[in-house]
Amino acid sequence: MIRNFLVRIKLLLLAFILPWALCSAPGNAQATSDSLWTFSEIRSDTNGDHKLDYLGQKVTITGIANIGTGLLHEHYLQAFVQNDSAGMSIFAMEIETPFEVGDSIVATGMIERYNGLAEVHIDSYKVFKTSSPIKINFLSDAIEAPQNYLGMLVKGEGKVIEKGSTFNGKYVRISSEGSSKSMMVYVSNFHRLFDEFEFDVLQVGDRISVEGIITEYNPEFPEERTFKLFLRTPEDLDFKGIPQFYLYLIAATSTFFMILIVGWVIVLKRSVKSKTKEIKASLEQKEVLLREIHHRVKNSLTIVSGLIELQEGSTESQEAKDVLQNSQARIQSVALIHEKLYKTESLSEIQLNNYINDLVQAIHGTFSDYKEAVDLNFELEEVFLETDRVIPCGLLINELVVNAFKHAFSKNKKGRLDVILKKEAGEIILTVSDNGPGLPKDFDPKTDESLGSMLIDSFASQLDASMKVSNKTSGGAEYIFKFPSENKTD
């Protein structure tokens, strides 16, 4: 109320000083006889013939500028002035004195109609730098009765229900919540900042905030578009939330990148598949070659074993026969490993329990004189061991079993050989025992210098195994080895 009161005071002061201002202005002698006209008087149409009663009449008006010069047109003076109750369009062929929003204007000119718009074509005007406050009305009220807000500033929010362009500008139509009516929001292509208004981004359904000037019916638009809201600057148009245009743009960009990523993944998968196929083919070829190598090594060792057997048959020395027989057993244990590798799917490890069973059975068959006299007892858990550790393990078992057949068993007494393989707490436990006479009381594997003891100690070291040697209470010797289930060098 205080603001409105101040505005009225300023306008009254202008009314009192107007005659003096007009008289003192050069070339304005004719205007001194004119009194101030109200905007409603200028728009009056008492007989309802849609023609202004005072069309062509020279008038003097005053008001506060609600738009600056040079916006709606760069060269022509096209602007609006308003007071608390109404506003008016003013026009001149050139801008004499620029003014800004809030400046008080006193103008003299002729009442005209331009494309249905009532305005004053001014001959002269005075600008008073007052920076007066301007009443801004609600858009929702202006949509319901726009004729009551002609030439005045309105502000509010609405939803875009239509978008289009005309021969002289572009527009959107917005509706206000709770109202069945709508309002055109318009910017002329004569506007100096025409390209900066983001109308292209707007889509039907977007919510926007607008501030502008209500103007009269323009014949270039359809009959139902009686009024429109002129935007003054690009800042008068603001988005509420994210415009659908940007949402579509984000969605399109996301879809593009998704397609790009999917395409890249497909190409990558095809490339990986192709490379994998090549590697697999190469690996299969190498596996075939490696199996062939194992097969040939096994055959070569079998030939060597056969030659030793021939050599054994051609000598009369029992000592030489024992040496050759031991060598043959060792060669057979290694040959058996290559045979297992040739037949197994994995070339990096062997199922140790099956290998031990086959190895002991093979050694048992070698000592044909004891075949019926010695029973084999196996307690073998499923254990897998790397190839490089199977060889010392096999040679170790070979020494233990051969020694048992040579020293623990006889043809006239029933013998028993126990081989136990377990896996506990990350360790492999291998036990080989017999029911023979046992080891001598003074036997110490660390000090024993026989070839068999040295080989057993060497193979145990290669396995990183601890060794325990003892005589069983029930009779017979027992060897227990514990070594890691995984190779520590991996």
Residue 277's pLDDT is what? 84
Q: Which two tokens stand for residue 343?
A: 């037949």
Residue 352's pLDDT is what? 87
Question: Which domains does the chain show, CATH number per domain?
Answer: 2-134 (2.40.50.140), 137-241 (2.40.50.140), 348-490 (3.30.565.10)
Residue 25's pLDDT is what? 39
Alpha helices in 167-215 (DSSP H): none
Q: Which two tokens stand for residue 45?
A: 């149409």
Residue 295's pLDDT is what? 66
* Dihedral angle over CA of 255, 260, 261, 262, nearest 10: 90
Residues near 274 by beta carbon (within 8 Å), at least 6 away in sequence: none
pLDDT in tens, the chain (490 residues): 444 444 444 444 444 444 444 434 333 333 333 589 999 999 998 988 878 999 999 999 999 999 999 888 888 999 999 998 999 999 999 999 999 999 999 999 999 988 778 899 999 999 999 877 899 999 999 999 998 999 999 999 999 999 998 878 899 999 988 888 899 999 988 888 888 998 888 889 999 999 999 987 654 454 555 788 999 999 999 988 777 777 777 788 888 888 989 889 898 888 888 888 888 777 666 666 666 665 676 677 678 767 777 777 778 777 777 777 777 777 776 777 666 665 666 667 888 898 889 888 888 877 767 667 888 999 999 999 887 888 888 888 888 888 888 888 887 788 899 999 999 988 999 999 999 888 888 777 777 777 778 888 888 899 899 999 988 888 889 999 999 988 765 5
Q: Which two tokens stand for residue 16?
A: 């009192």
Q: Which two tokens stand for residue 199?
A: 């109308």
Cα(350)–Cα(431) distance, rounded to whole angstroms? Answer: 19
Distance of CA 342 to the CA centre of its chain: 49
Residue 465, exposed/middle/buried by CB under 10 A (0-12, 13-18, 19+)? buried
Cα(431)–Cα(436) distance, rounded to whole angstroms? Answer: 15
Residue 38's pLDDT is what? 93
Q: Which helix (H) or strand (E) holds 471?
A: strand 466-471
Nearest CA-CA partner of 349 in 450, 244, 485: 485
Nearest CA-CA partner of 388 in 287, 284, 487, 283: 487
Residue 99's pLDDT is what? 94
CA angle, residues 398, 403, 404, in degrees to nearest 5: 100
Residue 127's pLDDT is what? 94
Residue 340's pLDDT is what? 62
Cα(211)–Cα(135) distance, rounded to whole angstroms? Answer: 12
Q: How far is CA 318 from CA 313, 337, 358, in A?
A: 11, 29, 28
Residue 28's pLDDT is what? 37
Tell me the pTM: 0.50
Residue 447's pLDDT is what? 75
Q: Which two tokens stand for residue 181?
A: 């009516």
Residue 291's pLDDT is what? 61
Cα(486)–Cα(490) distance, rounded to whole angstroms? Answer: 8
Residue 21's pLDDT is what? 44
Cα(303)–Cα(310) distance, rounded to whole angstroms? Answer: 11
Q: Which two tokens stand for residue 341?
A: 């590798």
Residue 288's pLDDT is what? 66
Mapping DSSP to helix (H, G, I), strand (E, B) and coil, where does residue 41 land?
helix
Residue 176's pLDDT is what? 86
